[in-house]
Amino acid sequence: MQKLPDILTRGAERTPDKVALTFKDDRYSYADLSVTVAALAAQLAARQSASQTRVAVLLPNCPEAVIAAFATMLTGGIYVPVNPLLRPRQIEHVLKDSGASVLISTSYLFQSIAGVLEALPNIDTVILSDATEAAVQTPAKFEMLTWQEALAGRPGEASASPHTPTLDDPALIFYTSGSTGRAKGVLVSHRNLLDGVRIVSGYLNNSAQDRILATLPMSFDYGFSQITTAFYANAEVVLTNYSMPQQLLGELRKYRITGLAGVPTMWAQLVTVVWPEEITEHLRYMTNSGGRIPSSVLQRLRSRAGSAKLFLMYGLTESFRSTYLDPAQLDTRSDSIGKAIPGVTIDVVNANGESCAPGEPGELVHSGALISMGYWKNAAATAERFKPLPKALSNGSPHRLAVWSGDLVRRDEDGYLFFVDRADHMLKSSGYRISPAEVEEVIHASDLVEHVIAVGLPDERVGQRIAVAIVPKSLHEDNDFAIRHVCARELPPYMQPDEILILKSLPLTAHGKPDRPGIRDLFSAAPLRN
C-alpha cells in the first residue's frame, strides 16, 4: 500500500458487500464507500491546480466527513480536519495557517463563520454536505456546491489529479495547541498513518469481526485512528457524536460494539450509570488516551466492563502513539503508561542528554516509527520539538531523529514508564492539550486586564480544570462576569476557565517572571469561584 486510501480500496476488492461504515440507520458497504470516495475525489481533482491542495473539513462525525478525508488524500491533497467545537477565531487561524482552498462543511457551520471566510483569500470552493441546490446562495467569492453536485463527477476522473501520493507524501494536518499560544499544524504522512494502524491494530488484535465505535472527534488523531483502524482490519466502524452516557451505552448495545476508544472525561461519565448486560457480551476491548484515568474511575470502569480488556495508552500528535500498558499489568501497575509500542524506542533523558537511572525523572523521547513530518510551515517550532537523539543514545547513528515530548516520566526497574509532569506549562483537560498562552491571549485582548495567567488545577473528572488569575485594569464587581463572557464568545468549551481569581498583583519568581506554581497554590487557598 502506497497511500492511506488503499486500505479502503483493498476492502472494496476483497469484501465489496461487507458493511464498512454505519451512521444511525445508514449503512455503507466497502464498495459503496469506495465508489463515493472516488466520485468526490474526481471533483476535488478537477479543482487542483497543483499537488498538496489543502481541503478543510469542518464537520461533526458523519459519513460525509469520512468520505471527504479519504477523497482528499486519494487525489494527493492534504486533509485538514477542523473541530466544530472551535470558535470562529480558532477556525480562522486553522484555515489561514493551512492555506486551505476548499472547505467542506454544513450550512449552519458555514453561516457561523461566513464573516471569517470573507477575509480569507485562499478559500475558493465551498461544499455544503446538507444543502439542496435551491438553498445554496452563491457569493461571488466562492464556488458553492451541494453534496450531490460534488459527487456528480465520474470516479475515473480522479486520475486527472496533478499528483499521485506516495508513502512519504503528506496526507493530513492535525492542529494541536502549543506552548506559545496559537495551535500548530502537525504534518502527517501516508507512511505515518499506515504504520500507525498496522502497529496499533496488531496489539489490539483487530479483525474483520470487530465493530468499532468512533465517538471522538475526527480532528483528534486518536478519533481519526478509530476509522482507519477499522478499515485496515476490514472491520465495521460505527460513527457517532458523544452527548450523554446513556446515549453511548445505547449505541454499544444496539450495534454490538467490540471496540471502544475514550478519554478520561468520557469514562468518568460512563461509570456513573448502569451498563446493560448485553454490552459486555460483545465488548472485547477499550482503549484510553489523552490523560490518566483516576484510580477510582478505573476501578469502576473495570467492574462495569466485565471481561473486556482495557489498554492504557500514551501518545503525542507529533508521533501518534508511543506506549501502551498490557492489560495483564493493570492489577499491579494501573498508574503506568506501559512500555514502547512495537517499532518505537522510548528513552528517558536527563538535562545532560544522558539516559536516566531507574526511578529518576527525565524527558520522554520518542524515536523510531511514527514520527511525523514536523509542524506545517513552522521550521523554528519543528527544530525545537524534532531533534536528533544525543550521541550516547543514538546507537551509532548521529542523525537519528526523535520527538522530544516535553513530558517528564520515570522508568522502573522492569522498564515500565510512569508519567510525572509536564516540563512546560501545557495543560491537559477533557483529553485536549491546551496552551495557557492561548487562553491568556484571549483575555488580554479584551482590554479588561493588566495581567493574566492561566494554570491547570487537578480534577478527577477532566484531568485538569482551567483557572485564571487576573489583575484587572480597574476593580469592578462584574470583572468575573465580563471575563467569562469574553471566554465564552472566543474560546471553545473545553478551554474556558472554571475558576477566576482576581488579584492586585501577580506573584513573581526571583527572576521577575510569573510564579505559576505559586499562583496555582493561591487557588487552593482561595474560596471556590465558578
CATH number assigned to the domain comprising residue 146: 3.40.50.980
Q: What pLDDT score was predicted for residue 318?
A: 97
pLDDT at position 118: 84
Domain boundary among 376, 391, 422: 422
Let me know how many helices (H) and strands (E) the chain has, helices first.
18, 26
**What is the spatial distance between Cα 309 and Cα 304, in angstroms, rounded to a whole number?**
12
Assigned C-alpha cell, 485: 463572557
Instruction: Examine the domain organization and report whether 437 and 397 are in the same domain.
Output: no
- Are 127 and 145 spatial neighbours (Cβ–Cβ below 8 Å)? yes
C-alpha cell at 63: 459519513
- pLDDT reported for residue 474: 85
- Measured over the CA atoms of residue 288, residue 293, residue 299 and residue 303, the dihedral's sign is negative
Residue 254 lies in a domain: no
Instruction: Determine, yes or no, domain membership for 277.
Output: no
Please identify which residue in the block is written with the cell numbers 551509532.
Answer: 396
Q: CA 428 to CA 420: how far, in whole Å?
A: 13
Residues 6 or more apart in contact with residue 261 via CB below 8 angstroms: 212, 213, 214, 215, 216, 222, 223, 225, 226, 286, 287, 288, 289
pLDDT in tens, 107-130: 999 999 988 888 898 999 999 999
Q: For residue 319, what are the β-bridge partners?
A: none
* In a domain? residue 301: no
Task: Using alpha carbons, list the distances in angstroms from residue 493 to 111, 214, 233.
Answer: 20, 21, 34
Q: Is residue 288 part of a domain?
A: no
Nearest CA among 168, 224, 182 for reference residue 371: 168
371 within domain boundaries:
yes
Both 462 and 508 in one domain: the answer is yes
Burial (0-12, 13-18, 19+ Cβ within 10 Å), 327: middle
* Pair 399, 473 in one domain: no
Domain boundary, last residue among 422, 442, 464: 422
Parent domain of 359: 316-422
Nearest CA among 137, 175, 52, 55 for reference residue 104: 55
Task: Let me know whether 390 and 520 are in one domain.
Answer: no
Output the domain CATH number for residue 409.
Answer: 2.30.38.10
CATH number assigned to the domain comprising residue 444: 3.30.300.30
Residues 237 and 128 in one domain: yes
In single-letter form, the type of residue at position 170 comes to P
157 and 44 within one domain:
yes
Domain boundary among the residues 406, 422, 438 is at 422
Nine cell digits for residue 431: 483529553
pLDDT at 142: 84
pTM: 0.88
> Are 236 and 356 members of one domain?
no
pLDDT at 395: 72
State the total domains in the chain: 3
User: Is the same domain home to 353 and 502?
Assistant: no
**501 found inside a domain:** yes
Residue 250 CB partners (closer than 8 Å, separation 6+): none
Round to whole Å and give the CA distance between 295 and 313: 15
Q: How many CA atoms lie within 13 A of 150 on its CB side?
A: 28
482 lies in the same domain as 447: yes
pLDDT at res. 178: 62
Answer yes or no: do 441 and 373 share one domain: no
Look at residue 150 in the predicted model and tell me its pLDDT: 95
Chain centroid offset of residue 336 CA: 22
Burial of 328 (0-12, 13-18, 19+ CB in 10 A): exposed
Is the same domain home to 454 and 492? yes
Q: Is 69 within a domain?
A: yes
- Quick check: is 278 in a domain? no
Verify that 181 and 321 share a domain, yes or no: no
Which stretches of the chain drop beneath a pLDDT of 50? 529-530
